Amino acid sequence: MAKGMFVDTSICIGCKVCQVACKEWKNLEGEPDHFQEVDGRLKAVNFTGNSYDNTGHLSATNWRHVRFIEKITPDRSNVAWYMMSDSCKHCAEAGCLEVCPTHALARTDLGNVIVQQDVCNGCRACISACPYGVISYNRQTGRVNKCTLCDDRIHNGLETACAKACPTDSIVFGEVDELRVKARQRVETLKTQGFNQAQIYGDTDILGGLNVFYLLLDDPEVYGQPRAPQLPQKNLISDTLVSIGTAIVLGLSALIAFRERGSRSNQNLAEEKVEP
């Protein structure tokens, strides 16, 4: 049975404990671009001005990112403040797996997708293949990094570090099928409380199902998530047919052009011979 996580954004308090737990367990360094030496001291310079979010985005050293979304109506009469702990979704249909030429990206027996560092050649094909932008290139190692769903922990009977640390149980680790049942029940409860837009993001209707899925209180786009993510390779057949068709049309056009040019040349020669 696949393992995964259910992230209930309705009870996320934005404490970022999950981010800290992830960094500590994986021994991830600070993002190089976020710090500079000022007057002989290392200081943070990554102030985005985007609410309380100074992480900005997922990266090779930030495998988890707590998003802060302030949704304000144009007349500023209503404000909604959402928080979401984002990471790799460990998709059932993972584009990164399909494009990796060395099979450095692999799915384990528990359904999580990992990066085998000793096999990765740093080609970065997986980065463009991921519709969520969760894979990043590590300039220090020349390879890519992302969340592994704490592969070492879950294969030893432990839950993920982020789920273990979450104080509100906004992040819950377990069997994906069981988590989906719990998520659907939670959605129904929230709707009875007036949260009419409560919905599951990442059910089986998206990329075969996300093993890390979410309960959202608004549209996916509000949380920076694509409504209908597509894998680039899904367009391979149609794009190939278009390319072949274009090549055939160009070839025929060139052939016709050469034939017309040849006909005109022959006609001119014939006219020259007729002249006295």
Residue 107 near residue 140, CB atoms below 8 Å: no
% of the chain at pLDDT higher than 90 = 69
Q: Which residues contact 192 (CB under 8 A, 6 or more apart)?
A: none
Phi-psi region of 256 (alpha: psi -120 to 50; beta: other; left: phi over 0): alpha
Does CATH place domain 3-229 in 3.30.70.20? yes
Listed residue (3, 27, 1) closest to 159, CA to CA: 3
Whether 246 has a pLDDT exceeding 80, the answer reads no
The rounded distance, in Å, linking the Cα atoms of 115 and 94 is 13
Structure tokens at 82: 């959402």
Residue 155 near residue 145, CB atoms below 8 Å: no
Q: What is the predicted pLDDT for the residue at 151? A: 98
Residues 3-16 pLDDT 10s: 999 999 999 999 99
Residues 141-165 pLDDT 10s: 999 999 999 999 999 999 999 999 9
Listed residue (25, 19, 183) closest to 87, CA to CA: 19
Residues 33-89 pLDDT 10s: 777 888 888 777 777 778 888 888 999 999 999 999 999 988 988 889 999 999 999
Listed residue (160, 162, 128) closest to 144, CA to CA: 128
Domain ranges of the chain: 3-229, 234-274
